[in-house]
Amino acid sequence: MKIGRLQIDNPIFLAPMAGVSDYPFRLLCKEYGAGLVYSEFVSADGIFRANDKTLSMIRFSDEERPIGIQIFGDSPEIMAEAARTINKQFRPDLIDINYGCPVPKVTKRGAGSAALRDLNLMDEITLAVVEAVPKIPVTVKMRAGWDQNRIVVPEAGVRLEQCGIKAITLHPRTARQSYGGSADWALIKELKAAVDMPVIGNGDIKSVEDMRRMFDTTGCDAVMIGRAALGNPFIFRELKAAWQNAKLFAPATLKEQVALCIRHLKMQVDYCGAQMGANLMRKHFGWYLKSFPGAPQYRNRLVTATDGNEMLVILDEIADYADQTPQVQIVG
């Protein structure tokens, strides 16, 4: 598929997830088959102020391409300047505008999904960003609306297309729903019928069957995987194989999962430093290590370990257990 002039090998994307989609995680998902990866969403204000922490969140390597950088904010001028800065300093393959985040600390400023309460402001922000970076595609990730009484699909999609957006990712829940309830995939189909650009479906894709059903029932051009990838980058190889009509992979074994966990830890430490890398991995252990005898005890030891070296010792214990257990251990 293509987004603007950007050619993408397969239509299975990694979602931008705050606190998760950093360089090590993106690289792992890319290696397992993600066709496009996104950075964590970053504040346009932080970019505008040249905040070191913000800028460090959007640095990437050529191994990750194609990659999109996602930004959020409530000021058209600052969003435009942030887009210019990103394009000049980092040269991503696309810039994505976040109109989907439902977190109060973002929406109370009028950013994220709060922009869907004022489509005129949404237009102003979108036009400012598109005009600021005319040589690369600008895309949007959005929710269905603020609440059930204010569903803005497909009106917002048509307006975004008129502003020059090259693709839309729709998570068909409202901001008020957050991550509760079910995603209304019918809204993805409705959006696809209303616009003449790629539509990426997002929400409740947890398996090959889910992906196939989303493609079949909505007509979307690509799918975006978020929570189903937590502790499970393997999902991209499964979905990519299914999309290619190739032989499907068996579910990851405990041995494979532990090996990936060890690799992820080492990558995180190399990228962030010993202490920060170990701290960031604590949440990943909770996602990686499930559904086998003793899993809660191992996870508890890992999240309370003092450093990465102690974590590696515990992971080696789990690897030894996996070696001694001949049956397939399905995790995640």
Query: pLDDT tens-digit profile of 83-102?
Result: 999 999 999 999 999 999 99
Q: Is 282 helix (H, G, I), strand (E, B) or coil?
A: helix
**Encoding tokens for residue 201?**
């479906």
Going by C-beta distance under 8 Å and a sequence separation of 6 or more, which residues neighbour residue 297? none
101 is catalytic: yes
Paired tokens of 328: 């397939």
**Before 296, cis peptide (omega within 30)?**
no
pLDDT at 331: 43
Strands 222-225 and 12-14: parallel
Residue 69 token pair: 């950088």
Tens of pLDDT, residue by residue, the chain (332 residues): 899 999 999 999 999 999 999 999 999 999 999 999 999 999 999 999 999 999 999 999 999 999 999 999 999 999 999 999 999 999 999 999 999 999 988 998 889 999 999 999 999 999 999 999 999 999 999 999 999 999 999 999 999 999 999 999 999 999 999 988 899 999 999 999 999 999 999 999 999 999 999 999 999 999 999 999 999 999 999 999 999 999 998 888 899 999 999 999 999 999 999 999 999 999 999 999 988 888 999 999 999 999 999 999 999 999 999 888 755 444 44
Distance of alpha carbon 192 from alpha carbon 144, whole angstroms: 13
Please provide the CATH number assigned to the domain covering 2-243. Answer: 3.20.20.70
- Structure confidence by residue, pLDDT tens digits, 105-118: 899 888 999 999 99
CB environment 302-317: b (16+ within 10 A), e (fewer): beebeebeebbebbee
pLDDT at 124: 98
Distance between CA atoms of residues 327 and 255, nearest Å: 11
Instruction: Kindly name the residue from 29, 101, 163, 261 that is annotated as catalytic.
Output: 101
pLDDT at 324: 83
Helices 155-163 and 119-132 cross at an angle (nearest 10°) of: 30
Give every CB contact of residue 275 below 8 A, 6+ residues apart in sequence: 307
3-state secondary structure of 143: strand
- Please tell me the predicted confidence (pLDDT) of residue 326: 54
**Could you count the other beta carbons within 10 Å of the beta carbon of residue 50?**
10
Burial class (CB in 10 A: 0-12, 13-18, 19+), 321: middle
At CA 226, angle to CA 299 and CA 11, rounded to 5? 135
If 0-12 CB within 10 Å is exposed, 13-18 middle and 19+ buried, where does residue 97 land?
buried
Tens digit of pLDDT for each residue in 118-134? 999 999 999 999 999 99
pLDDT at 83: 98
Torsion, Cα 72 181 11 20, to 10 degrees, reads 50
Both tokens of 182, joined, read 């079910």
Q: Where are the domains of the chain?
A: 2-243, 254-323
Q: In angstroms, rounded to a whole number, what is the distance separating the alpha carbons of residues 317 and 326?
A: 16
- pLDDT at res. 327: 52
Could you tell me if 236 and 32 are in contact, meaning their C-beta atoms sit under 8 angstroms apart?
yes
Instruction: Please state, in angstroms and rounded to a whole number, the distance separating the CA atoms of residues 80 and 48.
Output: 10
Question: Can you give the pTM of this predicted structure?
Answer: 0.94
Whole-angstrom Cα distance, residue 148 to residue 257? 40
